[in-house]
Amino acid sequence: MELVGLLPTELLDRALTHASWVGSRTGSYERLEFLGDSVLGLVIASALYERFPGSDEGEMARQKAFVVSRTSCVQVAEQLGLSGLVLERAPASEVRRREIAGSASTLGNVLEAVIGAVYLAFGFERTRAATIDAFEEQLVYAATSHVDHKTALQELLAPRGLQPVYTLVADKGPAHARLFTSEVLVSGVIKGRGTGTTIKMSEQAAAREALTALEEPKRGS
């Protein structure tokens, strides 16, 4: 993402500043991370909508959850060399810079903060183009490969401090043709229900339905 190198010094420094380095959390990257998370979600949602007119709502929700997941953000952060940028530019001691550069999950946060900073400096269209370019590999994978719905759901919930809980609610049919039905709960609320010829398949189906359900409040907001 070439635009990172063109960022004003103040914005770049803020995007690389961990909350533990400053007296007030508002002086860290967290506000930019909040903004960047929303920008990233809109960029990827719009890219999926344009690229795959044949994909239904559930399929796009699954793809988006994978592309914006913490795992994907960490991968892109590594591809962009953000650990090196932290080591070189972050406004802190070398020891602190090394701690952050060595933390994969923190680098994912830094990536979102950088996206937020790029958006403020250069506007949505330039940020969109640069972000799609950076996440191209994840977009292609989500569209052409099998993505684990359960993993995608877990990645979607993790930043909120939530975990999915799967429950087998039905087991029917003869031994050679069993049919299992599972439900997935989030904070005690059923978010998805699915059926399959194995328990794992029924959980995957439930997770896929949950991904769609969890996207609905965002679209309505």
Catalytic residues, by residue number, are: 37, 112
CATH class of 2-147: mainly alpha
Q: Which residues are within 8 A (CB) of 162 and not within 5 positions of it... i.e. 6 or more apart? A: 186, 187
Cβ neighbour number for residue 186 with a 10 Å cutoff: 19
Judge: domain 151-220, CATH 3.30.160.20.
yes
Q: Average pLDDT per run of 10 along the chain, which is 221 residues long?
A: 88 92 89 96 95 82 85 89 91 89 86 96 96 93 75 83 94 86 95 91 89 61 44
Q: How far apart are CA 184 and CA 219, in angstroms?
A: 21
- Enumerate the domain spans of the chain: 2-147, 151-220
Q: Which two tokens stand for residue 31?
A: 């506000």
* 217 CB burial (10 A radius; 0-12, 13-18, 19+): exposed
Cβ neighbour number for residue 53 with a 10 Å cutoff: 6
Is pTM, for the whole model, over 0.75? no
Q: According to the model, what pLDDT value does residue 36 have?
A: 97
